[in-house]
Amino acid sequence: MHIGRIITTLVCVTLTQVGFAQVGANSSVINPNLATKKELTALPGVTASIADAIIEARPIASNLKIDEIIGDALSDQEKGKLRARLFLPINLNTVSDEELALVPGISRKMEHEFEEYRPYTSIKQFQREIGKYVDDEEVARFEQYVFVPMDLNSASSEAFRSIPGMTRRMVHEFEEYRRYTSMDQFRREIGKYVDEDEVARLERYVYIK
């Protein structure tokens, strides 16, 4: 029995380590899928009509969609300043070159470095690899704009809690239905607690190995 408990503990620790991936720590960047109209209109260049359009388009799946909504209302320079404050975290493993180029302050060389280390397994890996090229402050700044998708069947509670807008109750629901066998199952089970738009918003941060 004692050996059995040890084996069970080792398996749980291994699964937690394998599944540890998360959304980068965010101190000042607003998520367009969660921001209130008041928060949006407080941003530079965001009018009430732009804020309404962003809210209406939710769940937004790409920063390219935000650019499309803004259109010609702002100059390229003004859009760049806005992205530093309003940005949807990008999936480091699947983001397109076009969207990656929208990360505030990213250079072509750094775009290459972001892509070189794919597939990422955790934010800690991102911090370590990108830290070879820029200082800790710049790594932390970049981290605000990215995430690494997490495996529904092995991610830790800590990883799930890093999803923007995640509640403790929803972390419990994510874990309750393990093991997941398909994303359709995830949509069906989590759809018991939130609407389709919220399921779609949450879905972009997870996958099934």
Q: What is the pLDDT of residue 9?
A: 35
Least confident segment among 25-29, 45-49, 116-120, 137-141: 25-29
CA count, 13 A, side-chain hemisphere, 16: 9
Tens of pLDDT, residues 96-113: 999 999 999 999 999 999
Tens of pLDDT, residues 118-132: 999 999 999 999 999
The reported pTM is 0.87
The DSSP line for 125-174 is: HHHHHHTTTS-HHHHHHHHTTEE--EETTT--HHHHHTSTT--HHHHHHH
- With cut-offs at 50, 70 and 90, classify the pLDDT of residue 61: very high
Amino acid identity, residue 80?
G
